[in-house]
A = this chain, B = another copy of it.
Amino acid sequence: MLKKLLITGANGNLGAVCRERLAPIAESVRLSARKGLGEAAPHEEIVYCDLSDKDAVEALVDGCDGIVHMGGQATEAKWETIRSANIDGMFNLYEAARKSSVTPRIVFASSNHAIGYHKQTDRLDAKSPTRPDGLYGVSKVFGEAMASMYHDKFGIETACVRIGSCFPEPRNHRMLSTWMSYDDFILMIERIFMVPKLGCPIIYGASANDASWWDNREVAYIGWQPKDNAEAYRAKVDAEAERPGLDDVNAVYHGGAFCADGIHED
């Protein structure tokens, strides 16, 4: 059991899921975001913090033995936004972890957009080359590289999770492959903190979907076997979502719509 778990980006979609469901794995939880965290529960501590502020991040991280790093910019944006949140933010986080009084184990919310330009007919595993599908994806490749370096140099362990589509239900045909249920997401985080030795693995964050494109065989040692399957929602998706055409990026690339995006400019 963790002493103090830090959840960054705790006001976001997945951050809120973490806040609600990860309390049992830590004696206390420190929540962080730039705003909007509401009232702290008895086991909670709230710290407002901008990840690009190095000193603030150092204070935020100090004393935590677990970090679920959901913070940062969570979708495509213009460069300045991404650089500040995901580039500077990652450096600040790892510097803070290195200097912390206790060395934390970290879950880094990477993204399928780090490999978004691979084709859906190609199956990927942790050793597949990265092919980011935008500035956001590039920032995730950068984050994984930072985690790898701090592991090799300082022994800080990180699980880089290339999250697929983490929502209550799959909402379109692409998500029949990329969906991760909240239950599977939480189970994964629990396993990451439980395995005696973590190392610095790359994990694809998806449920046990029949139509999966991703292979987590190499990280089975963590002991995470997702239990849900997007297939259960196929009829509903067929009924409610339009099937993408043959050359639609949603039918061609792992990254889906991000591959049709240009560079965001001012």
Contact = CB atoms under 8 A, between A and B. Distances in A.
Interface of A: 79, 83, 87-88, 91, 95, 98, 117, 120-121, 123, 127, 129-135, 137-138, 141-142, 145-146, 148-149, 152-153, 157, 173, 176-177, 194-197, 199, 201, 209-213, 215, 217-218, 220-225, 231, 234, 238, 243-246, 248, 250-252, 259, 262-263
A79 to B, nearest CB: 6
Contact of A149 (B134, B210, B221): B134
A123 B218 contact: yes
B176 A121 contact: no
Contacts of A220: 123, 210-213
B121 A197 contact: yes
Contacts of A251: 196-197
A248 B197 CA distance: 9
A196 B129 contact: no
Given A196-B248, A221-B121, A153 B173 contact: no
Contact of A213 (B95, B221, B250): B221
Nearest to A243: B196
Contacts of A146: 138
A215 B220 CA distance: 10
Contacts of A152: 117, 131, 133, 259
21 contacts: A87-B87, A91-B135, A121-B197, A121-B201, A121-B221, A123-B218, A131-B149, A131-B152, A132-B148, A133-B149, A137-B149, A138-B146, A153-B259, A173-B196, A176-B223, A196-B245, A197-B246, A210-B223, A210-B224, A210-B225, A223-B234
